[in-house]
């Protein structure tokens, strides 16, 4: 029997909630676990920066598998299950080299989850109507609540519990995935032709560089925020509360981001978000009290909650119609892939040579450079009379 539309939407919401609940209770506390077992900052950076690079390489492979088999739902369930099981490998692998292997394998399976789930969701919404954002929003709720719940739990049960919680959440997510509607998804991507055309648009490579410098530190903060909080005297439960406040502030801002973008323009909003991020990282480098860190975590709503929709829409408007998919894929690879890898890796090295506060000072400086490049792109748009700046 075909489930009702309302029941199907609940299934999508539950899937996103459980998926991001798993990751939200896992990655923010993983750096603290590595410190607990005696890894250096450089080793921690190497392990946690490996995932983004592997994911960039693995995503096209999963796309080919889905296109060839036409069994995207089964591939999704398999990769969710294997992601949870692979995470348990950290419990039995206490050698640095084997931890690298676990990180790489986990990233291979993780790389498939969000692209396939988003494609299934978008196809379903397009077919029957509805709002993709209202379904995807449950992912943000899951991530925010998981950091708080797991922070409280590990305070009494110990950090190894993050692996048990991760595997359990991903197992439930896979079971929920069995009830998702069967949708045909495609990952058509003409990288060679698309890249050639996009590089001819002067603003495109500059905007990618700005995204690398601005969004890379945002992604790396998910790894190092716990270490920062602990070095300021905070507790594990406090780390979870900090993530709850930060991630929880994104959803309300995203809801109203569209109206502000229409009034102020895409690049103006993206530039403002970048400056908020830079100010936050610079402030953390001053070794503030835990109280002030709590207060400033909500600024993540203004930085991430505004930058993501503004940047994605700018890329869509800037790219020629035939290569929009390629443009979005490159934007994602640079920001959440290469940027995440570089700033996670360099952050660990700076942590070893100096301290966590110097790491955040570096993040602030690079983010300011990214804001400067955005200003350059804005002036190029103005000089060329482009209309993307005020598009809805």
Predicted pLDDT of residue 196? 72
Residue 79 gets which letter from DSSP?
H
Which has more pLDDT, 87 or 236?
Answer: 87
Q: Output the pLDDT for position 86.
A: 95
- Look at residue 31 and tell me whether its pLDDT is greater than 50: yes
pLDDT of residue 186: 61
pLDDT digits (tens, 9 = 90+) for 73-122: 899 999 999 999 999 999 888 789 999 999 999 999 998 888 888 778 87
- In the chain, alpha helices (H): 5-24, 27-36, 41-69, 72-87, 89-92, 96-128, 132-157, 161-177, 191-199, 203-231, 236-248, 250-264, 266-284, 290-297, 299-318, 324-332, 339-353, 356-384
Q: How many CB atoms lie within 10 A of CB 237?
A: 17
Closest CA to 208 of 374, 10, 384, 389: 374
Q: 187 with 119: CB under 8 angstroms?
A: yes
Segment 321-339 mean pLDDT: 76
Check pLDDT > 60 for residue 387. Answer: no
Are the beta carbons of 154 and 162 closer than 8 angstroms? yes
Q: Decide if 293 contacts 284 (C-beta within 8 A).
A: yes
The overall average pLDDT reported for the chain is 85
Note whether 325 and 189 are within 8 A (CB).
Answer: yes
Cβ(313)–Cβ(391) under 8 Å? yes
Q: Does residue 311 register a pLDDT over 50?
A: yes
Separation of alpha carbons 216 and 333, rounded Å: 11
- Helices 41-69 + 96-128 axis angle, to 10: 40
Encode pLDDT of 243-299 as tens digits. Answer: 888 877 877 787 777 778 888 888 899 999 999 999 999 999 999 999 999 899 888
Q: What is the DSSP letter of 38?
A: T
Measure the CA–CA gap between 40 and 253, rounded to whole angstroms: 37
Tokens 């570096």 found at: 362
Q: How many CB atoms lie within 10 A of CB 210?
A: 28
Task: Count CB atoms within 10 A of the CB of residue 2.
Answer: 7
Q: pLDDT (tens digit, 9 = 90+) per residue, 37-80?
A: 889 989 998 998 888 889 888 877 887 788 788 888 899 999 99
Q: Give the Cα separation of 283 and 305 in Å (integer).
A: 20
Say if residue 391's pLDDT is above 60.
Answer: no
User: Which pLDDT value is given to residue 389?
Assistant: 47
State the average pLDDT over residues 161-186: 89
- Asked whether the predicted pLDDT for residue 372 surpasses 90, the reply is yes
Give 322's DSSP letter: G
Distance CA 354, CA 365 (A): 16
C-beta of residue 175 within 8 angstroms of C-beta of residue 54 = no
Of 131 and 10, more confident: 10
pLDDT band (50, 70, 90) for residue 191: low
**What local confidence, expressed as pLDDT, does residue 258 receive?**
76
Q: What's the pLDDT score for residue 187?
A: 61
pLDDT higher at 250 or 214:
214
Domains of the chain: 6-180 (1.20.1250.20), 190-392 (1.20.1250.20)
The pLDDT score that the predictor gives to residue 274 is 94
Residue 2, pLDDT score: 45
- pLDDT of 202 reads 81
**151 or 355, which is more confident?**
355
The pLDDT of residue 385 is above 70 = no
- With pLDDT > 90 as the criterion, what percentage of the chain qualifies? 34
| Residues 6+ positions from 52 with CB-CB distance below 8 Å | 107, 219, 336, 337, 338, 340, 341, 344
Confidence of residue 218 (pLDDT cuts 50, 70, 90): very high
pLDDT for res 9: 86
Place of tokens 């992912």: 139
pLDDT of residue 238: 82
- The secondary structure of residue 354, as a DSSP letter, is S
Encoded tokens for 123: 């196809």
pLDDT level of residue 386 (50, 70, 90 thresholds): low
Percent of the chain whose predicted confidence (pLDDT) is above 70: 92
């Amino acid at each position: 029997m075909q489930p009702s539309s309302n029941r199907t939407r609940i299934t999508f919401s539950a899937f996103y909630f459980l998926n991001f609940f798993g990751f939200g209770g896992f990655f923010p506390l993983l750096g603290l676990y590595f410190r607990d077992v005696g890894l250096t900052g450089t080793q921690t950076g190497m392990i946690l920066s490996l995932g983004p690079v592997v994911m960039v390489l693995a995503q096209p492979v999963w796309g080919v598998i889905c296109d060839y088999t036409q069994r995207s739902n089964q591939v999704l369930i398999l990769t969710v299950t294997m992601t949870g099981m692979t995470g348990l490998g950290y419990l039995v692998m206490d050698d640095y080299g084997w931890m690298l292997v676990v990180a790489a394998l986990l990233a291979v399976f993780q790389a498939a989850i969000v692209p396939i789930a988003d494609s299934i969701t978008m196809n379903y919404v397009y077919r029957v109507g509805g709002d993709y954002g209202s379904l995807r929003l449950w992912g943000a709720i899951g991530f925010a609540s998981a950091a708080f719940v797991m922070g409280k739990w590990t305070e009494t049960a110990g950090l190894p519990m993050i692996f048990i919680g991760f595997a359990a959440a991903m197992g439930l997510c896979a079971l929920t995935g069995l009830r998702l509607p069967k949708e045909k998804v495609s990952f058509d991507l003409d990288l060679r032709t698309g890249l050639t055309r996009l590089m001819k648009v002067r603003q495109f490579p500059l905007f990618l560089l700005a995204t690398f410098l601005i969004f890379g530190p945002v992604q790396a903060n998910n790894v190092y925020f716990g270490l920062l909080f602990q070095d300021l005297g905070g507790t594990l439960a406090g780390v979870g509360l900090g993530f709850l406040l930060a991630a929880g502030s994104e959803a309300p801002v995203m809801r109203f981001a569209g109206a502000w973008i229409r009034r102020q323009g895409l690049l103006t909003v993206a530039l403002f978000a970048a400056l908020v991020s830079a100010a936050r990282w610079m402030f953390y480098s001053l070794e503030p009290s835990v109280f002030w860190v709590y207060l400033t975590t909500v600024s993540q709503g203004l930085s991430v909650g505004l930058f993501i929709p503004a940047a994605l829409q700018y890329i869509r408007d800037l790219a020629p119609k035939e290569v929009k998919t390629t443009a979005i894929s490159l934007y994602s690879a640079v920001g959440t892939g290469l940027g995440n890898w570089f700033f996670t890796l360099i952050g660990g090295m700076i942590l070893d040579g100096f301290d966590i506060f110097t790491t955040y000072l570096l993040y602030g400086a690079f983010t300011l450079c990214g804001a400067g490049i955005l200003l350059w792109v804005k002036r190029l748009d103005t000089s060329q009379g482009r209309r993307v700046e005020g598009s809805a």
